[in-house]
Amino acid sequence: MKAILPFVVLGAILLAGCREQEVVARPGPQDLTRDVSGFFCGMIVADHPGPKAQLHRKSNGEILWFPSVRDAIAFTLMPGEARDVAVIYVNDMTGYADWQSPPPNWVAIDSAHFVIGSDMTSGMGIGEAVPFGTLAAAQSFVTAHGGQIVDYKDIPDDYVFDLGPSDGGAS
């Protein structure tokens, strides 16, 4: 019996180590439908121009929808909320033809390239953090609409919470 004990202990240690390395798969993006309302505003998300965001909670799988990417980023900056985020998807605006109806392509927020400070506004009439799946698409957008390209983690808090008038409007 004493000869088996070291193997039992070793097995328990190895199993505990395996559990720490488990990787939970991210839930996939969901389609935006007309029955989806914004988390903060309660309005129909699809009625707002510009890119949208969907946040998947880690704790219960609930999906929170936002009529602007900026609103989703603001949500993550609220105390305690960032810890319960499994993934955030944003519209990939690559090749968009109509600001009123963004393409139904989604990209994880941490993989996107964002243009901030452009002349395009969110559905709520304030500056938007416009997401792109490729750097080339973001650069093309900057050429047409101004602004600067940043990664998600580099979007300044003061940009997210600046509710003053923008320097342009949605076209």
The domain spans of the chain are: 29-161
Euclidean distance between CA atoms 160 and 18, whole angstroms:
39
User: Is the model more confident about 100 or about 21?
Assistant: 100
The three-state DSSP-derived secondary structure of 48-108 is: CCCCCEEEEECCCCCEEEECCHHHHHHHHCCCCHHHHEEEEEEECCCCCCCCCCCCCCEEE
Of all residues in the chain, the percent with pLDDT exceeding 70 is 81
Angle at 61 (CA atoms; ends 25, 52), nearest 5 degrees: 90
pTM of the predicted model as reported, rounded to 2 decimal places: 0.80
Q: Whose CA is closest to 74, among 86, 61, 64? A: 64
29-161 has which CATH code?
A: 3.30.70.2060
What is the per-residue pLDDT across 62-111, written as a single tens digit (0 to 9) for each?
A: 999 999 999 999 999 988 787 889 999 999 999 898 999 898 999 999 99
